[in-house]
Structure 1
Amino acid sequence: MDERVREHAKVLVDWSARVEAGDRVVVDVAEDAHDLAVAVAEKLGERGATLLTTYGSDEVSRAFLRAHDGEFAENDPKLAMLEAADVYLRLGGGRNTTATADVPTERRRAAKQANKRVREARMDTDWVSTVHPTRSLAQGAGMAYEEYQQFVYDAVLRDWESLADEMAKVKDVLDEGSEVRIETDRTDRDGGRGPSRRTDLTMSIENRTAVNSATSVAYDSHNLPSGEVFTAPYATEGEVFFDVPMTIDATRVEDVWLAFEGGEVVDFDAERGEEAIAGVLDTDEGARRLGELGIGMNRGIDRFTDSILFDEKMGDTIHLAVGRAYDSCLPEGESGNDSAVHVDMITDVSEDSRLLVDGEVVQRDGTFRWEDGFSSA
């Protein structure tokens, strides 16, 4: 076995999930994540944890969803399993990144709504999601397999304690702030063709708590790799353009524009995949409101790969998610935006951009004000 797989498992079990003796651990394994599952099982055995392994397959899900033509039951058997678990580890790495592309949007949406209690039970555990580098993911990223393996491990096998200290500076700024403004201008890049390419968006973050997502449940962070600072905005006004291509509901989406009034999406456009955006926004009332503002800070991720697990963490990016807000960002006893979906979209802020908090420039063209090369002008 590649020694990097064992190192990946060690980071996942020790740093990310903080598994202890006696913990009841559910490990959900994708089709081609077998090697990582073996390494994780070994680490869990060393910890004296209890292990239950499940199999998660997009191809299996496709078969079920295409055959199902009635209402989806809410008494999913996975609910009891997750309610009894202390830790849930998702090891991604499927065979086909678009396996469910031919499942009708309405059916996927209904299944998500029916599984809401399952998702909530999973989020009540110390859950962590990661991915094993597979040939299908390498192909989706446009990379040779060995090249993609190195890309994944550069992102995963980091000095997480040092990165956590760096990200704490952004967390402090957001925690002390009341309003965030994002400005970008891409209008000169396509000669005015297609949807609006400008971003001028304001949102309130008052009384919110930002999460230093240093890929550990100790930081209330649940993805490996991570490397972002995120919070739960509200009262959103203005327009935002997302120029990073991605796959949403197994559909390729490019150049998405959203317009907000009164905190809700009131208009939208996309150069490609507009139907997928419409399907997300029509899921429920909360799907038209923001649930997350995230600032990517993992510079071990050096390219976009059409994987949200990596792309949203990349340095010099900002992402916004429509849908559910995370409770970790909210005051105790307060409910944030509620939705059956949480869909991230990304904009590149490496040039022609500014991030302001309470009117003060915190980041310009991807450089933070405490970094060399920052210019406030």
Structure 2
Amino acid sequence: MDERIREHADVLVDWSARIESGDDVVVSVAEGAHDLAVAVAAALGERGANVVTTYASDEVSRAYLRAHPGDFDVADPELALYERADAVLFLGGGRNTFATADVDGETRQAAARANRPVREARLATDWVSTVHPTRSLAQQAGMSFEAYREFVYDAILRDWEALAGEMARLKRILDDGSEVRLVSADTDLTMSIEGRTAVNSAASVAYDSHNLPSGEVFTAPYDPEGVVRFDVPMTISGARVRDVTLRFEGGEVVDFDAAAGAEAIADILDTDGGARRLGELGIGMNRGIDRVTDNILFDEKMGDTVHLALGRAYEACLPAGEPGNDSAVHVDLITDMSEESRLEVDGEVVQRNGRFRWEEGSAPE
């Protein structure tokens, strides 16, 4: 076994999920993540955790969704499993990244709404999502398998404490701020962040961070006004999506366009009322991620990018007792901020052309 797989497992179990002896842990294993699952199981065993493994296959999901008559119920056994768990580890890495491309949007929406209690139970645990490099993901990224493995481990096996210290600077700015403005050639969007708490997403539940790799600072914006164009291509629900433009008025999407994948965007927006509002503003700061790979787990953390999510807001960003935007979906869209762009907080430029004002080589204001 590649030693980096064991290092990946150790980072996941120790730094990210903070597993302790006696913890009840569910490990969800994708089709291509077997080697990582073996290493994770060994790490959990060494730490005295209790483990249940589940099988996560997009091809199995496709078969189920296409055969189902459409009136979905909550899966009570799955709900009970997550309600009893202390932590859930998602090990991604399937065989076909477009396996569910021919599942219709109405079926997806119905399944998402019915599955909501299960999803909420998972999110109430110390959950962490990561990915094992597979040939299908390498192909999706347009890379050789060997090059893709190097890319994945460069993003995951980092000095997370050092990166957390750098990201804390941006967190303080957002915590103290009231309004964010994004400006580029096709974007001019303002949104409120007053009263919200930014998350220093340093790949650990100790930071309210649940992705490995991570490397972003995110918050829960509201009342967006203006236009934003998402020029980073991506795959959403098995559909290729490119050059999405959203127009916000009164805090919600009133018009949209896309060069590709417009039907997928329409399906998302029609899920429920909250799907037309924003749940997240995320600012990528992981310089170990230096290219687009068509995998949201990596792409949204890339330096020089900003992403906005339609749908559900994360509780960690909200004041106590405030529900924030509520939806059955949380779908990220990414815009490149590396050229002719700026990110302002309360009128002050924090990032210009992808470089933060404290970084070496940042452009003058």
Worse overlay, 176-185 or 68-77: 68-77
* 1:37 Cα deviation from its structure 2 partner: 0.3
Q: What one-letter code is carried by the residue in structure 1 that aligns with 2:327? A: S
Counterpart position of 1:194: none
Counterpart position of 2:134: 134
Q: How many equivalent residue pairs?
A: 365
CA RMSD across the alignment: 0.6
Counterpart position of 1:101: 101
Q: What one-letter code is carried by the residue in structure 2 that aligns with 1:21? A: S
Q: What one-letter code is carried by the residue in structure 2 that aligns with 1:101? A: A
In structure 2, how many angstroms separate the alpha carbons of the residues matched to 1:54 and 1:117?
Answer: 18
* 1:76 Cα deviation from its structure 2 partner: 3.5
In structure 2, how many angstroms separate the alpha carbons of the residues matched to 1:269 and 1:206?
Answer: 29
1:1-377 matched pairs, under 5 angstroms: 1-185=1-185, 198-377=186-365
Describe the superposition over 1:137-161 as per-residue Cα deviations: whole angstroms up to 9, x where unpaired.
0011011001100000000000000
In structure 2, how many angstroms separate the alpha carbons of the residues matched to 1:235 and 1:93?
Answer: 36
Describe the SS at the equivalent of 1:295. Answer: strand
Describe the superposition over 1:68-107 as per-residue Cα deviations: whole angstroms up to 9, x where unpaired.
0130012442100000000000000000001001111110
Q: What one-letter code is carried by the residue in structure 2 that aligns with 1:125? A: T
* 1:218 Cα deviation from its structure 2 partner: 0.1
In structure 2, how many angstroms separate the alpha carbons of the residues matched to 1:299 and 1:234?
Answer: 28
In structure 2, how many angstroms separate the alpha carbons of the residues matched to 1:285 and 1:235?
Answer: 14
Describe the superposition over 1:153-187 as per-residue Cα deviations: whole angstroms up to 9, x where unpaired.
000000000000000000000000000000011xx
In structure 2, how many angstroms separate the alpha carbons of the residues matched to 1:162 and 1:254?
Answer: 34
Describe the SS at the equivalent of 2:37. Answer: helix
Q: What one-letter code is carried by the residue in structure 2 that aligns with 1:274? A: A
Describe the superposition over 1:90-135 as per-residue Cα deviations: whole angstroms up to 9, x where unpaired.
0000000010011111101110110000010000000000000001
In structure 2, how many angstroms separate the alpha carbons of the residues matched to 1:184 and 1:212?
Answer: 25
Describe the superposition over 1:310-347 as per-residue Cα deviations: whole angstroms up to 9, x where unpaired.
00000000000000000000011111000000000000
Structure 2 gaps of 5+ residues are none
TM-score by length of 1: 0.96
* 1:28 Cα deviation from its structure 2 partner: 0.3
8 A contact 1:76–1:115 mirrored in 2: no
8 A contact 2:70–2:110 mirrored in 1: no
Q: What one-letter code is carried by the residue in structure 1 that aligns with 2:90? A: R
* 1:376 Cα deviation from its structure 2 partner: 4.0
Q: What one-letter code is carried by the residue in structure 2 that aligns with 1:226? A: S
TM-score by length of 2: 0.99
Describe the SS at the equivalent of 1:77. Answer: helix
User: Identity of counterpart residues, as a percentage?
Assistant: 75
Describe the SS at the equivalent of 1:344. Answer: strand
Describe the SS at the equivalent of 1:305. Answer: coil
* 1:375 Cα deviation from its structure 2 partner: 3.2
Describe the superposition over 1:278-324 as per-residue Cα deviations: whole angstroms up to 9, x where unpaired.
00000000000000000000000010000000000000000000000
In structure 1, how many angstroms separate the alpha carbons of the residues matched to 2:70 and 2:231?
Answer: 37
In structure 1, how many angstroms separate the alpha carbons of the residues matched to 2:310 and 2:102?
Answer: 23
Q: What one-letter code is carried by the residue in structure 2 that aligns with 1:199? A: T
In structure 2, how many angstroms separate the alpha carbons of the residues matched to 1:72 and 1:120?
Answer: 17
8 A contact 1:361–1:376 mirrored in 2: no
In structure 1, how many angstroms separate the alpha carbons of the residues matched to 2:89 and 2:74?
Answer: 23
Worse overlay, 343-352 or 75-84: 75-84
In structure 1, how many angstroms separate the alpha carbons of the residues matched to 2:358 and 2:227?
Answer: 28
Moved over 3 A (4+): none
Q: What one-letter code is carried by the residue in structure 2 that aligns with 1:113? A: R
In structure 1, how many angstroms separate the alpha carbons of the residues matched to 2:183 and 2:281?
Answer: 14
In structure 2, how many angstroms separate the alpha carbons of the residues matched to 1:36 and 1:57?
Answer: 16
